[in-house]
Amino acid sequence: MKKIETTDLKGFAEMMGVDYHLVLVKDQLIRKIKAECEKHQISQRKLAKRVPGLTHDRVSKIFNGQVGHMTVDKLIEILSHLDITAHITFEESEAA
């Protein structure tokens, strides 16, 4: 399979035919998961053991950016097992 490169999340979302805002939210959650794991020296395997129903394979996919299968609620659940609470803010889009 040919590797396709994109330069930004918006381009990636358009290429994949998915909502840009959903991709953006997932990206922010994943960045925080990675940062917390690095900060506390938590390996992918250790993270998988912390979260019920989460396998090392799924954690590996998260860390490699393969998140199409991963829901926002699962990413928030992972953060909660890292003792992090996610907060949501709302604002009107420019197109509204």
**Residue ranges of domains in the chain:** 26-80
**Rounded (5°) CA angle 41-42-45:** 145
- Nearest Cα to Cα of residue 50 among 27, 88, 24, 84: 84
> Does the global pTM surpass 0.85?
no
pLDDT at 96: 54
Q: Which of 19-23, 42-46, 92-96 has the highest average model confidence (pLDDT)?
A: 42-46
The Cα 82–Cα 75 span in angstroms is: 11
